[in-house]
Amino acid sequence: MALPNLQPSFDAPIPGQSMVSELGARPWQQPSQYTTIEEAVDFYIAKMSSDDVAMQIEDILETGVSVADLAHVIQLTNVMEGVHSIDVGVLATPVLIEFIMLIGDSADIDYKTGLDEQSETVKKSMMNRAIKKFKEKQTSVESEDPIDESENSSKDDKINQLTGLMARRV
């Protein structure tokens, strides 16, 4: 087992470094190259139809990376490079997913779609939240109960303590 590197890394960017560059210096701060879905889809299909890119996609799918994750990474990379905006990227992702699956099927690869896992993780997170809320409620109810008992007992004690001549009897 490899030991963790205890030496601090000084190659990492300084926090806030991205904020100091001039506005418009980054590709994603420039107007995007393709502004419509049709243009973006044509760009992707033309790019992914080439043999080199298809081979790379096949290799990635064989390593076990899911189709949805791969499509997400591809569109985010192009957003970063200023090819299209992030909303066009999200809209084009279903086409990318379908096209990557087509490449996978044509190469006869047993790929992971990654489409069902999302709902499972959402379900798990919802379950965890519900359990957490239930536990919180339970602990609050448990902590409230002793207070009520003590209040009731203190009331009874007060009634019992009233033993004067003018005291009302219950």
Partner 1 sequence: MTRQLNPGIIAYNNINSIKLEEEKVVPTSKGLLSPKSSNSKGKAIMLDENERIATYVSAIRKEREELKNGSS
- Closer of 42 and 156 to partner 1 (Cβ): 42
Interaction mask 58-77, partner 1, x per CB under 8 A: ----------xx-xx--x--
By the rule CB under 8 A, 37 interacts with partner 1 = yes
Number of helical H runs and strand E runs in the chain: 5, 0
- Closer of 90 and 167 to partner 1 (Cβ): 90
- Closer of 61 and 101 to partner 1 (Cβ): 101
Cα 30 from chain centroid? 27
**DSSP string for 119-148:** HHHHHHHHHHHHHHHHHHHHHHHHHHHHHH
34 bridge partner residues: 84
Binding stretches for partner 1 (CB under 8 A):
37-38, 41, 68-69, 71-72, 75, 90-99, 101-102, 105-106, 108, 114-115, 117-118, 121, 125
